[in-house]
Chain A
């Protein structure tokens, strides 16, 4: 025997610990893995995480127990030369009863906090920690982007503040999402905020969470919804209350485009190339309802359903051929002239 048994187990434990350390390092850095499920940033996500930690360690215990036992049995009872027929044991009722009850006990330990947390996550608090009622955001899954409406905030024309793919929420105030779909089934999932829930036609689902610190949180559709399911992403920016109020103020009024010739050409191109048929820009005659609302596209950090940074180059690339970036996307190849693309980029990026 090359190693005494104790050090064998010690080595295994060391290896396991090493693996866990690497794992926690990996998942530990939300900047590197922005959709991690194990670094909660809200009260709701924290409830899930607490349950996950309990379950994880219970599973590790059972894992070590069963796999360790298995390996020991394999080693101890391997056939050796000259082995006679082993005793023909047929069973043991005490053992059977024991290993029926023991897992049941472990599962009860798990079931009690599970059911409690199910009910806790089901009912959003009626009053936020900061004393305000929860902020309601209406979320609609589209093929393949997200629409967010804020019934609490109205634009001058009386319509709700509407944005797409980038949701802005205040830190410290509970947010309740009303989630549905008017097409196929999607699933809203921003892991650091809370678990996912499906957006189903004719069904009304809710999620709630209270952001605990300012930051940008990434997520994406989790229910297969067609050819561009992979690029139906979104991000949520949590702002401290003053910044949030400033954002509401800005976002519920039409953006004022830059007064340069290029931007003015862009506004014209927007009308002439059919963009307005699908997109809305508040304060203009563009009122299309098919694609994402572009009223303040210039202030968004990401474009094309949160798949790439909102730079001039990326927007130009998107306008040049959306079907190359997102094959099957609802945005058609418009064969825009290069000068129109430049003008559109200038115009859209001035809508802040």
Chain B
């Protein structure tokens, strides 16, 4: 019930000039990017680097598609083809989707929870530099011995010392270890940030859904990565020191690697998709003008997916002969995980149901996600049926399935997220017209590329083949070798490429334009939209106080009520009259007041801004030096290790301001 409560006037305080990017010396020039510990700048670094790797992985994909467009392709050699598909997969997973998700974690999560930065800003910078150097290190293999060629899954014995004596696998294996350090450091950072640094009043069940997905993803990373780390260490011992963990003739077991890899590898799938699900769960409500339907159920479903995701790994191994008991168990657990996934899809649909849907570019990608991810989910359930999987495993049907999940899912989500948060990241608006071109080109190209792969798989085309023969029937119709599914896939891939180029043009065009993005261009619901675009260094002038889910949305609705003159309560803060507020209950609207104070009257000079530091960059160099040393000279590895120790020491001693 509405009660009018007079507010006592707060003591007047002088409003201080806010430190802006341009006025702080540590935020100018090239060096400032090397030493930055600002989560927003690190987010931008992550995003740009990941996008560059996306283009690299995309070019690799186009080369694969050119080779496979026609039978007996001669565009690349078999050896080059194997390098291309290995690095396409590795790049897209470890160097694009994961770090791009981390870019969003970085930029968005502290803003959503009302924090000035992440919990460990220098560790955050260390994560970025380690990721960058790890990615460069792995690709540097090209200039030494050719790119890695063991597949992104690196099955032994093929990747063992006997069948892959070159240095390619060494680069891959050690590169993944370096990237793993970056991921783990980032995961711990976000875990602590989300647990400890939420704004007053933001209980877990008031947390924005993207932050929830970040939290679960961090848990998954922390529990999944140790498994591949162990697997890679055993591989390293086999390759460098002649052990026999995986070497069958001396009693090792190649299946050990597969278990260790997939205990990591399946949660990894959710590590890739959950952040995108989080983005979509933010976008759909905003452009439907409704809150997320069934918020607690979406949260529980996410948690359930996180748990069950650790119990399904052997569905990647249905054809390895685990026996009927194990196969039946993993078939059932895999089907089980479809239930929480389905709950999410229904909740997304009912978020839109009854709303006022605006078809912006971000919204189109989010809707595309729901639609395409459902298709990927259906083919996923088909793979849970073990006998069907015995036909589809390692065929193009699987390639179709996981591209519907990872491209139609994760990448659609990311593209939606980019279009959604672009004003916040850059202060500029993307062209909606070009954005729609991007969406439709990517959407049509995507379905042309990966839809026909279902048919190719049913027609018996295996994955990872560099060539096929005319008589296998994958290149034509009714015996005519013309415009078969493979050619259509290739055409689709180039349409996607045009779509991505459209986005790049749009991005550059908008960056050249005026910085005129409003704080809240979409009428969104979460706290980041209460801040200027882009937000100032310190984010919030004072801690926002949260009294409900969708804190910014409900604050805006209150403000509308004030402007409409509903109920009368003159409220002042810091000597300024804020307006008339209707208070629903005994709480004076602290949330309202704090928000208002935030971007008008608070004193940001008291917000702690961590000092820039060279040490994250320096320490990350030590890690990659160790990796280089393991391949070329153990002396260098020891030097790298000692250097890393010294760098960590310097880091620990550095005053933090």
The answer to whether B343 and A79 have CB atoms under 8 Å apart is no
| Cα(A70)–Cα(B373), bound, Å | 13
Q: What residues of chain A lie closer than 8 Å to B77, measured between beta carbons?
A: 327
Q: What residues of chain A lie closer than 8 Å to B468, measured between beta carbons?
A: 230
The answer to whether B293 and A90 have CB atoms under 8 Å apart is yes
Shortest beta-carbon distance from B194 to chain A in Å: 23
The answer to whether A202 and B460 have CB atoms under 8 Å apart is no
Binds A, one of B115-123, B183-191, B392-400, B429-437: B392-400
User: Out of A107, A191, A229, which one reaches B391, CB within 8 Å?
Assistant: A191
Q: Mark A274-314, 1 if CB is under 8 A from B, else 0.
A: 00000000000000000000000000000000011000000
The answer to whether A90 and B254 have CB atoms under 8 Å apart is no
Q: What residues of chain B lie closer than 8 Å to A6, measured between beta carbons?
A: none
CB within 8 Å for A27 and B458 given contacts A99-B342, A122-B323, A185-B155: yes
Is A78 located at the chain interface by the 8 A CB criterion?
A: yes
The answer to whether A227 and B82 have CB atoms under 8 Å apart is yes
The answer to whether A103 and B291 have CB atoms under 8 Å apart is no
| Cα(A77)–Cα(B353), bound, Å | 7
Is A95 located at the chain interface by the 8 A CB criterion?
A: yes
Residue of A nearest to B345 (CB): A66
The answer to whether A220 and B462 have CB atoms under 8 Å apart is yes
Q: What residues of chain A lie closer than 8 Å to B336, measured between beta carbons?
A: 107
Shortest beta-carbon distance from B361 to chain A in Å: 15
Shortest beta-carbon distance from A325 to chain B in Å: 10
Is B349 located at the chain interface by the 8 A CB criterion?
A: yes
| Cα(A32)–Cα(B248), bound, Å | 40
| Cα(A222)–Cα(B214), bound, Å | 36
The answer to whether B293 and A91 have CB atoms under 8 Å apart is yes
The answer to whether B155 and A100 have CB atoms under 8 Å apart is no
Binds A, one of B41-49, B99-107, B381-389: B381-389
Shortest beta-carbon distance from B322 to chain A in Å: 10
The answer to whether B374 and A187 have CB atoms under 8 Å apart is no
Shortest beta-carbon distance from A168 to chain B in Å: 20
Q: What residues of chain B lie closer than 8 Å to A111, measured between beta carbons?
A: 331-332, 335
In A99-130, which residues have CB < 8 Å from any B CB?
99-100, 103-104, 107, 110-111, 114-115, 117-119, 121-122
| Cα(A139)–Cα(B149), bound, Å | 26
Binds B, one of A149-157, A193-201, A240-248, A255-263: A193-201
Binds A, one of B268-276, B473-481, B640-648: B473-481
Ordered by A's residue number, 29 sampled pairs between the chains whose C-beta atoms are within 8 Å are A27-B458, A32-B473, A34-B473, A36-B458, A51-B387, A52-B387, A59-B378, A63-B374, A78-B359, A90-B294, A91-B295, A107-B335, A107-B338, A114-B386, A115-B331, A121-B390, A185-B157, A189-B460, A195-B389, A200-B248, A200-B321, A203-B320, A205-B320, A222-B319, A222-B462, A223-B394, A229-B464, A229-B466, A230-B464
6 tightest A-B CB contacts, nearest first: A195-B390, A35-B460, A201-B248, A230-B465, A33-B473, A205-B321
Additional pairs, 10, CB under 8 Å, beyond known A187-B394, A227-B79: A27-B458, A34-B473, A77-B288, A77-B355, A78-B359, A86-B354, A114-B385, A183-B163, A203-B320, A224-B464
Interface set of A (CB-CB < 8 Å, partner B): 23, 26-27, 29, 32-38, 47-48, 51-52, 55-56, 59, 62-63, 66-67, 69-70, 73-74, 77-80, 83, 85-92, 95-96, 99-100, 103-104, 107, 110-111, 114-115, 117-119, 121-122, 143, 183-185, 187, 189, 191, 194-198, 200-206, 218-231, 307-308, 327-328
